[in-house]
């Protein structure tokens, strides 16, 4: 036993461990990951009286917009206290949207409504910013242009599940006046009005209307009851419904494009133009303009639209009225039940001073197509 112990102690010692490698610490720069500024609105009051401490302070939508504008953050999120449903009755116009901002009413069932303080629109977006609005309603705005929302050149507005109703423009764009980039998804405009053009939307920028959006029962005293797409406008409309809109009044004795008035570029697919009315031309759709005017319609149904007679001018083009030297392409479209009061043509479609290029593919329409060159 002792000999085994002596042998164990007599073993050669282990070599000394090598010195640890030197570790050099450094700093690695990462990309900017700034967290968006967040604001939670917790009162329906427009200008709330603040309670004494330690009671939590009230944050109104007006105050949240002011704080977001001043935050300096690249993105600002404004939400509402969960379950806080109701109407925000504005005392005066809201501050302009002067910074990138997302206002989301999910879970709150919020309506923002002009109540006092004279005539003003609800939201004014400034150029160079992006404004995202979702899951709420905008009501009763009133302004020269864009009673509900104004989107100027250089600005971007994205609306998702937004309802604009009962807004009015003394000139153009009862619901929205757009000269920037505007996208509406699964949104509704109804009962908006304009003293001139674009009862629902007046567009001289880029407009995308898509995913079950509805333009319903809007009214323009002149042109474009639902949508007025101007010479500088590009409108892309997919999977949407334009119904019960009207253009023109008996007093004005004119009005074109009950559903849509277009002098710019228009693309439509998988849409319905239904039960729209115009005093004079284009119950469903009116297209006219210079050589740059382009209309492309695919799988569009035009049903029960009506062009009424005006004093001294017969109603032309119950479904459509096209005039000018642009191009028109229609494929797999339906024309049915449209009425023009003109005793001669009574067509669902009238083309005057015919477009340079007209192409129709698909089944023959139920309504007569009348061509006339002047």
Q: What is the rounded distance in angstroms from the CA atom of residue 88 to the CA atom of residue 109?
A: 11
**pLDDT surpasses 90 at 177:** yes
> What is the overall mean pLDDT for the chain?
86
Q: CA torsion, points 80, 82, 83, 88, in degrees to nearest 10?
A: -10
- CB-based burial of residue 66 (10 Å sphere; 0-12 exposed, 13-18 middle, 19+ buried)? middle
Tell me the backbone φ, ψ of residue 64, rounded to 5 degrees. Answer: -65, -40
The pLDDT value given to residue 9: 45
pLDDT band for position 367 (50/70/90)? low
The pLDDT value given to residue 95: 98
The pLDDT value given to residue 353: 45
SS3 at position 67: helix
Span 257-302, pLDDT tens digits? 999 999 999 999 999 999 999 998 899 999 886 556 788 999 999 9
* For residues 102-118, average pLDDT: 92
- Give the dihedral sign, CA 143/94/84/215: positive
Q: What is the rounded distance in angstroms from the CA atom of residue 291 to the CA atom of residue 60?
A: 50
Map 281-339 to HEC letters.
Answer: ECCCEEEEECCCCEEEEEEEEEECCEEECECCECCECCCEEEEECCEEEEECCEEECCE
The pLDDT value given to residue 374: 38
* For residues 51-67, average pLDDT: 89
Q: What is the rounded distance in angstroms from the CA atom of residue 173 to the CA atom of residue 291?
A: 25
Tally Cβ neighbours within 10 Å of residue 180.
23
The pLDDT value given to residue 210: 97
* For residues 86-114, average pLDDT: 95
The pLDDT value given to residue 160: 98
**pLDDT surpasses 60 at 30:** no
Q: What is the rounded distance in angstroms from the CA atom of residue 157 to the CA atom of residue 122?
A: 14
Q: What angle do CA 300, 282, 308 make, to 5 degrees?
A: 130
The pLDDT value given to residue 21: 56
Q: What is the pTM of this model?
A: 0.87
Give percent of the chain with pLDDT exceeding 90.
64
34 vs 59, residue with greater confidence: 59
Span 316-360, pLDDT tens digits? 888 888 877 677 888 999 888 888 887 665 555 555 444 555 666
**pLDDT surpasses 80 at 77:** yes
- With a CB cutoff of 8 Å and minimum separation 6, the contacts of 37 are 67, 68, 71, 73, 75, 76, 77
* For residues 154-170, average pLDDT: 98
The pLDDT value given to residue 306: 94
Q: Which position has the token pair 């210079």?
A: 290
The pLDDT value given to residue 350: 54
**pLDDT surpasses 60 at 26:** no
The pLDDT value given to residue 174: 98
Tally Cβ neighbours within 10 Å of residue 89.
15
Span 190-213, pLDDT tens digits? 999 999 999 999 999 999 999 999
When mean pLDDT is compared across 121-130, 166-175, 319-328, the lowest value belongs to: 319-328
Please report which helix (H) or strand (E) contains residue 2, including its range: helix 2-9
Strand partners, 308: 279
The pLDDT value given to residue 373: 46
When mean pLDDT is compared across 143-147, 208-212, 216-220, 322-326, the lowest value belongs to: 322-326
Q: What is the rounded distance in angstroms from the CA atom of residue 176 to the CA atom of residue 227?
A: 10
pLDDT band for position 54 (50/70/90)? confident
* For residues 52-77, average pLDDT: 92
pLDDT band for position 31 (50/70/90)? low
* For residues 59-66, average pLDDT: 97
The pLDDT value given to residue 320: 86
Strand partners, 163: 137, 188
**pLDDT surpasses 80 at 48:** yes
The pLDDT value given to residue 323: 78
């Amino acid at each position: 036993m002792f000999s085994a112990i002596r042998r164990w102690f007599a073993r050669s010692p282990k070599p000394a461990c090598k010195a640890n490698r030197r570790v050099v610490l450094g700093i690695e720069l990462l990309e900017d990951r700034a967290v968006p500024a967040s604001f939670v609105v917790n009162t329906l009051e427009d200008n709330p009286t603040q309670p004494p401490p330690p009671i939590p302070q009230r944050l109104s939508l007006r105050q949240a917009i002011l704080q977001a504008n001043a935050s300096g953050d690249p993105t600002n999120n404004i939400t509402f206290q969960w379950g806080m449903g109701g109407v925000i009755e504005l005392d005066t116009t809201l501050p302009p949207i002067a910074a990138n901002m997302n206002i989301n009413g999910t879970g709150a069932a919020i309506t923002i409504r002009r109540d006092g303080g004279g005539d003003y629109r609800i939201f004014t977006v400034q150029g160079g910013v992006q404004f995202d609005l979702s899951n709420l309603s905008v009501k009763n705005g009133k302004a020269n242009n864009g009673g509900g929302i104004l989107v100027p050149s250089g600005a971007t507005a994205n609306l998702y599940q937004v309802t604009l109703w009962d807004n009015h423009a003394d000139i153009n764009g009862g619901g929205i006046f757009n000269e920037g980039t505007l996208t509406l998804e699964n949104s509704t405009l109804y009962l908006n009005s304009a003293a001139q053009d674009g009862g629902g939307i007046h567009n001289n920028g880029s407009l995308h209307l898509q995913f079950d959006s509805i333009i319903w029962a809007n009214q323009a005293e002149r042109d474009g009851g639902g949508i007025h797409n101007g010479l500088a406008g590009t409108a892309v409309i997919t999977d949407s419904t334009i119904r019960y809109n009207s253009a023109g009044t008996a007093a004005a004795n004119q009005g074109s494009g009950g559903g849509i008035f277009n002098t710019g570029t228009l693309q439509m697919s998988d849409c319905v133009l239904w039960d729209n009315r115009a005093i004079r031309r284009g119950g469903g759709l009116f297209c006219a303009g210079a050589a740059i005017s382009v209309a492309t319609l695919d799988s569009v149904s035009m049903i029960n639209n009506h062009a009424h007679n005006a004093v001294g001018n017969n109603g032309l083009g119950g479904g459509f009225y096209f005039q000018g030297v642009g191009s028109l392409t229609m494929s797999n479209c339906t024309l049915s039940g449209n009425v023009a009061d003109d005793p001669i043509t009574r067509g669902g479609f009238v083309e005057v001073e015919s477009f340079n290029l007209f192409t129709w593919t698909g089944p023959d329409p139920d309504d007569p197509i009348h061509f006339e060159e002047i």
